[in-house]
């Protein structure tokens, strides 16, 4: 009997559990036949209990799901509110994201597509090269993007490396890039009038034309980096007429003028809302420039500098206002007004 039980015994504790579960007590039968019966009976019991244990313990499938949801939710909770929401992960949006994030500000970039890079991936009429002017060479170096010398002051980059390294640079600086998310509206406040965040929706929901309410992300600054359509500016122009924002559209190609003017006009459009990249052409009726991307990089860096300065100023003003706490002082009142308008 003892020998028989030992031979079947895969795990003493499992066996005990099997027996106790079914409330079975071993009869004191010394016969070999009885041992054989016990043998098969206990084997079945063990396999039942093992199965039960397996089902009760956490499966790999459920662990995977738990990990994904838990960590995604942690990210989502931490990015609301954000310091800066950038709409569009094209060259201008990614450049802005890196320079803002490396100052320690919380930056999230939303792109409606499942990839970053915007118009870069298509290269120049699908040829995988893009041209960058000398003025933007230091930005290429900041992102560790390799380039080859072209003619005069023009350099050439490889499209795939360009988009991958812009995104890697932004991510390494601390920006969060979330793909497959469309910004389909803004949040605003009155008195003073300003943009205070965005409404977001899964692109898949929008594509399926289901009626699903969006979620809302608050931020100190929103950047329209949506390219040719300047989607966020168009929404604001259409839905909040109090801003008097006119989006007149871009003009036909004029490379030199466009590259210069896009950078010059980059910056704050209305309180809380900034524009960078190709979207700059829309409100200022500027020409487009074809496959030359230096202006996009310079514009991204410029909008970053403007936002960093504005946020630093408003934080400083808030500290001063708090420290003094004296609203009757006209100088401090001015400071408060400036703070609210930024
Ligand atoms: C979420 C959105 C939404 C939205 C759009 O077009 P992009 O590459 O933008 P830029 O300005 O950084 O670069 C422009 C450049 O690529 C270009 O087109 C040039 C230089 N053209 C010259 C010419 O003459 O043609 O990227 C914009 C990104 C895209 O990835 C969109 O998917 C995304 O924004 N996007 N994401 N919510 N509402 N709208």
Q: Quick: pLDDT tens for 261-279.
A: 999 999 999 999 999 999 9
H helix runs in 57-202, sequence order: 60-79, 91-101, 137-142, 159-173
Structure tokens at 292: 């030359």
Q: Residue 179 falls within a domain, yes or no?
A: yes
Q: Residue 62 falls within a domain, yes or no?
A: no
295 CB near ligand 1 (under 6 Å):
no
Interatomic CA distance for residues 216 and 81, integer angstroms: 9
Helix%, strand%, coil% for the chain, nearest 5 = 55, 20, 25
Check whether 25 has a pLDDT greater than 80.
Answer: no
Q: Residue 328 falls within a domain, yes or no?
A: no
Q: Residue 336 falls within a domain, yes or no?
A: no
- Ligand 1 test: best mutation among 85, 86, 87, 88, most atoms within 8 Å of CB? 88
Q: Residue 31 falls within a domain, yes or no?
A: yes
| Ligand 1 center to 3 CA (angstroms) | 77
213 and 137 both lie in a single domain: yes
Check whether 3 has a pLDDT greater than 50.
Answer: no
43 and 91 both lie in a single domain: no
Mean pLDDT of the chain: 88
pLDDT of residue 342: 55
121 and 26 both lie in a single domain: no
Strand locations in 238-317 (E): 267-270, 273-275
109 and 10 both lie in a single domain: no
Q: Which atom of ligand 1 is nearest to the CA of 116?
A: 30
286 and 194 both lie in a single domain: yes
pLDDT of residue 54: 65
Q: Residue 224 falls within a domain, yes or no?
A: yes
Q: Residue 63 falls within a domain, yes or no?
A: no
In total, the chain counts a number of residues equal to 342
- Largest Cα–Cα distance in the chain? 105
Split at pLDDT 50, 70, 90, the class of 340 is low
Q: Determine the average pLDDT of the residues in 229-258.
A: 98
Domain count, the chain: 2
Q: Residue 61 falls within a domain, yes or no?
A: no
231 CB near ligand 1 (under 6 Å):
yes
Range of the domain at 252: 84-305
- Protein residue closest via CA to atom 22 of ligand 1: 290
- Protein residue closest via CA to atom 15 of ligand 1: 119
278 CB near ligand 1 (under 6 Å):
yes
119 CB near ligand 1 (under 6 Å):
yes
pTM: 0.84
Q: Quick: pLDDT tens for 48-62.
A: 767 766 666 889 999
């Amino acid at each position: 009997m003892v020998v028989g039980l030992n031979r079947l015994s895969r795990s003493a504790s499992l066996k005990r559990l099997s027996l106790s579960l079914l409330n079975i007590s071993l009869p004191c039968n010394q016969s070999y036949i009885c041992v054989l019966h016990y043998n098969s009976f206990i084997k079945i019991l063990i396999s039942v209990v093992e199965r039960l244990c397996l089902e009760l313990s956490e499966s790999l499938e459920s662990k995977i799901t738990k990990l994904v949801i838990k960590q995604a939710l942690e990210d989502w909770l931490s990015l609301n509110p954000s310091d800066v929401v950038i709409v569009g992960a094209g060259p201008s949006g990614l450049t802005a994201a890196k320079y803002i994030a490396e100052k320690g500000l919380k930056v999230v970039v939303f792109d409606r597509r499942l990839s970053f890079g915007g118009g870069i991936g298509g290269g120049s009429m699908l040829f995988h090269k893009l041209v960058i002017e000398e003025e933007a060479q230091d930005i290429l170096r900041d992102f560790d993007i390799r380039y080859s010398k072209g003619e005069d002051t023009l350099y050439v980059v490889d499209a795939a490396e360009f988009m991958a390294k812009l995104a890697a640079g932004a991510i390494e600086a601390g920006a969060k890039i979330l793909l497959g998310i469309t910004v389909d509206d803004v949040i605003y406040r009155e008195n003073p009038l300003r943009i205070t965040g965005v409404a977001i929706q899964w692109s898949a929901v929008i594509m399926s034309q289901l009626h699903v309410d969006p979620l809302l992300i608050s931020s100190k600054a929103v950047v329209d980096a949506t390219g040719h359509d300047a989607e966020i500016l168009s929404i604001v122009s259409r839905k909040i007429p109090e801003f008097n924002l006119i989006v007149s559209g871009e003009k036909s190609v004029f490379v030199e003028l466009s590259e210069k003017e896009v950078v010059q006009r980059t910056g704050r459009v209305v309180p809380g809302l900034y524009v960078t990249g190709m979207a700059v052409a829309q409100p200022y009726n500027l020409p487009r420039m074809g496959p030359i991307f230096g202006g996009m990089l310079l514009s991204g860096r410029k909008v970053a500098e403007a936002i960093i300065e504005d946020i630093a100023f408003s934080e400083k003003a808030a500290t001063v206002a708090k420290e003094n706490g004296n609203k009757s002082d006209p100088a401090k009142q001015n400071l408060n007004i400036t703070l609210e308008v930024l």
